Amino acid sequence: MALVAQAPAFQRSFLEALPAANWSHQTGTTRTHCWHNCQRQKESGQQLELRLLQSAQRLPAACARFKRRESRKKDVQCSATPRRDSLEPESERRVQEKAVGVAKALGGVNVYLVGMMGSGKSTIGKLLAERLQYRFFDCDEVIEGAVGAPVSQIFKENGEDTFRKLETEVLSQLARETRSVISTGGGAVLRKENWSSMHYGISIFLQVPIQTLAKRVTKNGHASRPLLNGGDATDESAETKAFTRLSTIWKDRKAFYENADVTVSIAGYEEGEEEMSTASLVEKVVHELETLLKERGVKKPQDSTGWVTEL
């Protein structure tokens, strides 16, 4: 554990969160699925610490790479349903004019998107960034780029707490950026440290009915959703299982999501109506941002536990 003691504070914090089962104090060895060659092999506890320490050191560089990659993109690719995915020319002009005004009023302040898995944070975030002429960051992708493994694998091998600490460090790094739209992980709202970073900007909660979320994550599969256990896209009960699990997660996180400065509720799903197009959703987000900025006031969030995070 010498490397842990010698590491800088932010690196030490997540190294200390590693489950004790990840190494043997008697043999000094561990068996883990290698993040780089996907083969089972033995590593000493010190080697494991060193590899994760190197991952933490790569987080700032991963943020920089993500920024460069997004800035080179000319077109935004999204996975949204294509129907009604573009606005009429007049509506397009009006929305873009409003977005330009909102961007000026923001003065370079970052925008953070929070919400449940499947709520569309990444898809909407990319288009919102394009509207505002901001950069876009996806916290999960930044972590994956630094560690060299998908989020699901990080969860499996080192536990949720280790991932959450990496996520906190990414948000701390991104808080130093300006003119950025940042898509956070679904559980980012659970840590007060993350709110401290997000309060350098404006947070937007994308609220989507649980039934819609269950349909989305079931359709896309559970492989990339480590908090969803069991079921698959071909199982008739998969959507029901997803709904049950998502309902539990929602109950645990509802109060935290409500800390956000703005809530954008996605209507039109519950009665079997067509989903709103991505363009329409982004228009709604821009409108809510404009309303908030006109009010010139942002509430101090408080959850059911009673803590308040200062802006």
Tokens of 17: 């969160």
User: Is residue 207 in a domain?
Assistant: yes
User: Is residue 150 in a domain?
Assistant: no
Q: Would you say 117 and 225 are in contact if contact means Cβ atoms under 8 Å apart?
A: yes
CATH code, domain carrying 264 = 3.40.50.300
Q: How far apart are CA 12 and CA 233, in angstroms?
A: 39
Burial letters for 4-39: b for 16+ Cβ neighbours within 10 Å, e otherwise?
beebeebbbbbbebbeeebbeeeeeebebeebeeee
User: Is residue 269 in a domain?
Assistant: yes
User: Is residue 37 in a domain?
Assistant: no
The pLDDT assigned to 35 comes to 38
The pLDDT assigned to 145 comes to 86
Q: Would you say 59 and 142 are in contact if contact means Cβ atoms under 8 Å apart?
A: yes
User: Is residue 248 in a domain?
Assistant: yes
The pLDDT assigned to 288 comes to 94
User: Is residue 239 in a domain?
Assistant: yes
Provide the whole-model pTM. 0.69
The pLDDT assigned to 259 comes to 95
Q: How far apart are CA 29 and CA 26, in angstroms?
A: 8
Give one word for 107, left, alpha or beta, with left for phi > 0 and alpha for psi -120 to 50. left
Helix residue spans in the chain (DSSP H): 2-6, 9-15, 45-72, 89-106, 121-132, 139-147, 151-158, 160-174, 192-198, 210-220, 238-257, 278-295
- The total number of structural domains that make up the chain: 1
User: Is residue 128 in a domain?
Assistant: yes
The pLDDT assigned to 217 comes to 86
The pLDDT assigned to 93 comes to 82
Tokens of 34: 């290698």
Domain that holds residue 210: 88-134+179-295
User: Is residue 185 in a domain?
Assistant: yes
Q: Would you say 81 and 216 are in contact if contact means Cβ atoms under 8 Å apart?
A: no
Q: Which residues of the chain have pLDDT under 50?
A: 1-4, 6-8, 10-11, 14-15, 17-49, 74-84, 230-233, 268-273, 298-311
The pLDDT assigned to 53 comes to 56
Distance, CA of 240 to chain centre: 24
The pLDDT assigned to 159 comes to 85
The pLDDT assigned to 302 comes to 43
Residue in 223, 181, 219 with CA at minimum distance from that of residue 198: 181
The pLDDT assigned to 206 comes to 96
DSSP state of 201: S
